[in-house]
Every structure is written in C-alpha cells, then in structure tokens.
Structure 1
Amino acid sequence: MPELPEVESVASGLRTWAAGRRVTGVRVFDPRILGTTSNRTIAAGAVEEFTELLTGREIAAVERRGKFLWLPLAPERGPWRPGRAVDPSGPPLALSVHLGMSGQFRVHTPADPLHRHTRAVLDLAGPGPAEADPAAPPTELRFLDQRIFGHLGVEPLVPDPHRPGAQPDGTAGLVPGSAAHIAPDPLEPGFDLEAVGRRIQRKRTALKVALLDQTTVSGIGNIYADEALFAAGIHPLAPAGSTRISRIRAVLAAADAVMRSSLEQGGTSFDALYVHVNGDSGYFARSLQVYGRTGRPCPRCGTPITRLTVGGRSSHVCPACQRPPRRARIG
C-alpha cells in the first residue's frame, strides 16, 4: 500500500499537472471506485452525480494528510438555479482520493491507449506545467486501480478538528469529512512532536501499534514504522506506556527523517502498483535498512534481520540493535 512519501509524491505530481486546470469531462468506467473499501454498494445515480459535481469545475489545489488526498474545487460563480449541480452558497467541495492498495493517477494524452485497469478519466483543460508545449493536446488524468481498494468521491470540506482556526499560512483549516478523524502527520507544518509523543505514551499497546494508529499520528505505515524503530534502536514490541518520552520523540524524529529521505527518492516502489503520475518509479526501496530484509545482515552489526508479527502486521528487526523488551503487551 502506498504510504505517506508515496502519496506525497503523487500529490506533488498532481500539483504540477492538475492544479489550476478545469475539468471539462468525466468518464467512469468502473463505478466501484466511487465506493469505499468497506462499502462497495454504489447508489443509483452515483456516476451521474459524480460527473455533474466535477464537470466544469477548476481544481484549486492539491492537499494531503497522511495517506489521504483531496483536490479542493474552486467555487462556482454566479447564482444557483434549478438544474445547476452545486449551490454556490453551500460548503466548499473537493475531489477526495484514497489510493488504497494499488490506486494510481497517470497523466496521458487522448491518443494514448487505455490501460485495462483504468477506472476513471478526467479531461483537463487550461494551462499545464510551465515546461509543457502550449500546443500540446489536452491532458487526461487517468485513475488506475488493479485491486479496486482505492476510491474517488466529491464531498464537502469541514473544519479541521485537529487544527481549528487559521493556519500558519493564514488559511482556514478544512478537510474532507471522510478524513476528519485522521491526525496530522510528521511532514505537516506545525506538527507538534511533543504533544503526539505524549499521546503515544498514554497508549496501552506495543509502540509499533501506536505508531500505526492513524488517529494518533497519520502517515507512518508499516514500512516506515519498521525503518524508524530501527533508526531509533527500539524494538517494535516495546510497550508505549513504559517507553521514555525521549525515546518516543526519537522514533517520531526518525520517522520524519526517513520519510523525508524517501520523498527525495520518489518513495518506495516494489512493483508497478506504485508509480508517479508520469509513470516513474520511486527508488527508496534500495535504501531500506530492515523492512523486507529477513535473513539478510543488519547494516550496522551484521546480525541477520528477523521477521515477527506485531498487531497483525509483519515487522522486521535486528535482534541485536533492537533488544526485545522483557515483557511486552501487544494490544
């Protein structure tokens, strides 16, 4: 599953190729992507409503929190009238996106053949990237999803319960309702490492389980949790409640560092299920220290990396550099 650096890499590509452009057409080839992982029952008329809400709207920006993406839509101009899809006096709307296990956005021209896993296409008009040829054909933003665990939707934006009021850039904090429960992530401006560390310390779970709780801190998925714990020299089964706050801060700082390093390399690609909007892969997999390296020597001490299960997730550790706790509660 794409984690925070991978989703931020996608967001960066969308800021280049989609922000400031107008959606002139929408085609949904598989209505299942309008549902969610837990609800694949698609209401009658969902495709028509999705198409009406997007067609003619300008993509104002591209935002991300953890693994959630949303593309705020510029307000419609002019008074509402019968038959108009959106009431301008209503709440602001956004195209909300979750990539799931295998969701991808890919930029194409209309002449490019459709991939067999293409689930929806947005036709974009207006200025593209500065480096693009002004005479280039219109852009198609295609959503591919092999396993159909991702989803798209148009939903109202609501006040951010985690960061109410004005933000450091002077804007009001708004998030999609479906992402309102998601906590801020380490790469967000103003991330309060101390406060998050204290919340983790109040958890009655293993430390890795607490790191994966997206309502406490978002964006730290399985890969980067393993890498951060290794960097901090802490075992994933260490009880969060009895871990010193200085060590929890060290893990959060390591998570920040390892995810920023991954972002510089375009994220982690293990296969074709994660690529950037231009089709390129990320290269951070070459820099992983423990994740997926079972039986291989620890890059620090040479001890073979071992694999165990924590909270139902595979975890990779160096048993010498990350000493297991004497007593651990997995939770």
Structure 2
Amino acid sequence: MALEYTRSNAKDWAKEKIKGFYMCPVTPVGEDRHVDEKGLRENIDAFIGMGIEGLVVGGFFAEGWNMTPTQWLRFHQVVADAGRGRIPLWTIILDPCVHTAIEKMNAVKDMGFEGAEVINPVVQLRTDDEIFDWFKYLTDHTDLAVCLYRTGVGGRVLGFDLMQRLAAIDTMVAVKQGAGSRIDTLRMRRELPGNFLVCDPSEAVFLDDLRAGGQCVWGELSYILYGKKRHLVNEYRALAAQGKWEEAREKSMQLNGVRLLLEETLLWKIIETNTYAGTVSSVKTWFEAIGLKGGRMIPPLRDLPAAQADVLRGKLQDLGVC
C-alpha cells in the first residue's frame, strides 16, 4: 500500500502527525495458548473508542518475540484488518537479522502499517559502526519510517554520537528514549535535528514534556491501564492546550496513586531486569480487570499466580481504576 510520505519528507510528516498516545498493548491469548483473534479485534475497537492516537504492536508487551514467524504475520494481518484506516498502525521489530527485519517491515507495509519501531540488533553487533551499518542497510531496503528504541534491553544503549549519525538517515523519524534518563531526553532534543522526534515513554512526565517540546508518549500503555481514571489525562491535556498549566498539574496529580501502582507492577521490574517478560502477566490481569481481553500467557511464560492476581485486582478497585 502507498505510504503517506516519501523518503525525503518522512521526518516532517512524522513531526506533524505523531502526537498524543501511541500505545503498546498486550496480546489476548486463549486457553489454547494461541492468539485470541476475536479478543484482539475487540480490544482494538476499545482502543479506538478511548481516543488513542496510534498503536505500536508486536513487541515485548505483545509477546511478539515469543511468536513463530507465521503467528507473527497472522497477528499483524488481524491488527491491520481491524485497525487499518481507523487508527495509525506501527509494528515493532526485534530481530537481530537485518534480512528478517526487512522482510517483516515490507510485509506490514503492504498491510497498511505506516512505520516500525526497531530495536538495535541485540546479538553480536556492538560497535557504533556495526550498529550504524545495520540500520543503514535496513533503511536502504525499505521505505517504511523507523522509530529507534534506545534502551538497555537492546544490549547496548545508543550513544549520543551514534544517535546523531542515525538521526541523519532520511527515514529515521523518531526515537523512543527508553533508557530511563530524563536528562538524556532533553539533551537529544537540543542536539538532534528539530524535525526528529524524541519521545519519552512515560505518561507521568507528559505534562512537563508538553511544555518542553515533547508531543508524544510512545511505546507504553499507561493511558489504557488508567481505566475509569483515564478521563483525567484527557482533562489535563485539554487544560494544557489552553495554557492553563497549574490547573492541568492539579488534574494530573490526581493520577499519582495509579502511577505508583504502575511503577510497582511494571516499571521498576523492567529497569531492574532489562526485560519485559516478568511483567506481561500482570498487565494481562490489569487488562481483564478494566474490561479488556488479556487471557493467558504464551508458553513458556507463566500466568500470574491467582493470589497475586487477586492482590492486584484489589489495589485497582481501591484506586477506582475499575
């Protein structure tokens, strides 16, 4: 399918279009431990109803790393069928083989996806030149826009010199600055091209980010998880758009209890382990508690133990999330 942008204007297109919340939801899985396609479609309908600006699918939270190539492609076909034309769709590429990455990106481009978040190769390649050559080869062989994922999960956090080199590639339009340092986010905004998006994947700092040149919360799922308190995000964003920053902050602070639970359940575990695997079962329990489809885990990952699930559901009820 034809893209909305060309290689020469990809950055300007992304700067204009990518705003708000581009969320990474989990994948509903049935009792047979296969993707629940009906549940996946129902979730996408729900995400669109919530007003989410974009979906970024197929990554760590989605268990994309634990799917066979056939399952991965079928998953994306279902997402495309359910969401294409209704909400912007991005995939996530986790493959260390650049040829596999290209094959997947070209496949989802034909399905109507508009871009790909791509992690740096986690196997073998570690030097700046090796990583740059990997991304250069990738972008030379697909026209799909790319969002980098700067994170320790990738085996190495991309340095500032390498980020400057990568940001100069024409179809490299953004970075998910997931290395955990707010200082890094602000420095990259100063040093990288003005039309290259630097996205902080944290709703907790989004209000401050809006005042500091940010425009998108990329690659997390807090807005979904806030459930019945989701309206507070919409309200503080509306106040911020009117320049009513203090009123917006008062509204935002009403989410602090849920944010602390999110940190306890997800964020600190990801930072401590440099993996997402130990958190997905909790997110699926959270999804079910707020009326979305979560289901089982794909083996060999385990479901959340019943006692822990009960504790989490109780905390969500106490906070008024569900």
Give TM-score scaled by structure 2 length. Answer: 0.33
Max Rg structure: 1
Higher helix proportion, which one?
2
Give TM-score scaled by structure 1 length. Answer: 0.33
